[in-house]
Structure 1
Amino acid sequence: MLISDSHQFVFVHIRKAAGTSLRQILEKVSLPKNNNLWHKLLSRNGFPVSYHQFSFRKHSNLVEAERSMPADRFNQYFKFAIVRNPWDRLVSEYEYIKTQPTHSRHKKLHAMNFTEFVAYQAKRPAAHQVNALQLKNGEMGMDYIGKLETLDESLAFVGEKIGLSFAEMPHINQVKRRDYRSYYNDSLTEQVAQLWAADIHTFDYQFE
């Protein structure tokens, strides 16, 4: 997660949805990462810590900003994220982890086939995008949710809102692979439709 006081935004970084590329622009105007061990301990265990001292993880959920920011400031700041088609996103993360020996889950997942990976991911709350974008009361808390599939359009809107240009944004962590649809048979397609129903319904995605 990134928070900027100067540009008044909260960016929730969804895995495998252009977040690493976006950070190359957003980090320049965001609060610096807090690596203080004491603040990390307090942050991870739910103690009240001001957002200026809170040790946000790269993929922190929106609720962590809600808990650590003054309510008026949290409500005022432009809260946004980029999401991705769940079927495509699963393939992207699967192939990415397989190519990254230093990734924390590489050893565990490297020997899995894609069907096994889907079953594994389904049990992880972080694998479901909607979980990262909710408030403490369970309601959606974002001001804007863009889509990777229409990234240029999404970033044009975000840029206008927060006063930044993404014209020079690099593309990072891309992995060459087959079209995501080729990874699925009818059974696995339906399995993802059921397991990721919240993402698919909330963000209006289809297997297409």
Structure 2
Amino acid sequence: MLLSPKYSFLFVHIAKTGGTSVRAALERLRWRDPWYYPMFLCSRLSHLSGHRIASKLPRHAKVVAAKELLPKEYFDTLFKFAFVRNPWDLQVSSFHHIRRERPHYLGGHQNFEDFLRWKLDPERPYQYHVDTSITPQTDYLIDLSGKIVVDYIGRYERLHADFVEICTKIGIPPPGLPHARQAKDRQKDYRSYYRDATAELVADYFARDIEMLGYGFDPPD
């Protein structure tokens, strides 16, 4: 999550949706923000305490955390946005990310289908780096009553165009988006990773995301 008091925006960072690139592009604005140094100090104090003093919004915090912590009149003035991604594509991206950067979290499952079935097993013990990417994306967008409270939902599938529109709404010239954490060993079409059974497994698990965000296994023409 990235909060900018100067530019009055709140970026809700959902894992594996291009958020690292968006964050990198926008973080440079923080140097122009008069609140940067107090926020940086709070972040360091939180880190030094083992995050036991609740003085920062975590990187992948849900929007409800900001809504509950910030004064209502201030929260309401912020331009709140997030990016989402096709759930089938997101799971492929997550697999390659974990295999590349945290292979010890694969649970011994070296191919995508085995890993996916293990990952979505409700009996599996919780692991942050695995479970962040199977938390429903809509959970990040809603308040305690289930209402979507972000103002703009961008799509990973049109990341650059939507980012330009977001920057226009914020009132800044759109900075370039760096391509962070690109997987060089994945096949381009996520559909090639699935059989009917595993595609249906994702459809069932992420049914709410698919319905609310309008995704399907096959991308729109």
**C-alpha distance in 1 between matches for 2:91 and 2:146:** 24
SS of 2:143 mapped into structure 1? coil
Residue 26 (structure 1) shift: 1.5
Q: How does 1:1-208 map to 2 (within 5 A)?
A: 1-30=1-30, 31=36, 32-33=39-40, 34-37=43-46, 38=49, 40-43=51-54, 54-100=55-101, 103=102, 106-109=103-106, 111-112=108-109, 113-122=111-120, 123=122, 124=131, 127=134, 128-176=136-184, 177-178=186-187, 179-208=189-218
Q: Normalising to structure 2: TM-score of the pair? A: 0.81
Identity of aligned residues (%): 36
1:163 is displaced (CA, Å) by: 1.8
Structure 1 residue 149: Cα displacement: 0.5
State the SS of the aligned residue for 1:14. coil
2:53 partner amino acid: L
Q: CA RMSD in A?
A: 1.9
Q: Tell me how far 1:152 sits from its aligned partner.
A: 2.3
Contact 1:85 1:206 in 2 (8 A): yes
Q: Secondary structure at the match of 1:99?
A: helix
Please give the alpha-carbon distance, in whole angstroms, between the structure 1 residues aligned to 2:197 and 2:9: 41
TM-score (normalizing by structure 1): 0.85
Q: Deviations over 1:99-147 (max 9, x none)?
A: 11xx3xx313162132233234435475221111111222211101010
- State the AA in 2 paired with 1:61: K
The corresponding residue for 2:128 is none
**Kept after mapping to 2: 8 A contact 1:135/1:141:** yes
Contact 2:98 2:105 in 1 (8 A): no
Once residues 157 and 81 of structure 1 are traced to their aligned partners in structure 2, the CA distance between those partners, rounded to angstroms, is 13
Q: Give the whole-Å Cα distance in 2 for the aligned partners of 1:142 and 1:205.
A: 19
d(CA) in 2 for partners of 1:28, 1:194? 40
Unaligned runs of 5+ in 2: 31-35, 123-130
**8 Å Cα contact 1:126/1:132 also seen in 2:** no
1:51-100 Cα distance to aligned partner (Å, 9 max, x none): xxx32211111111112111011011000001100000000010111011
- Separation in 2, partners of 1:93, 1:126: 7
Q: Contact conserved, 1:96 with 1:175, CA < 8 A, in 2?
A: yes
Kindly tell me the number of residue pairs found equivalent between the two proteins: 194
Q: Structure 2: which amino acid aligns with 1:119?
A: R
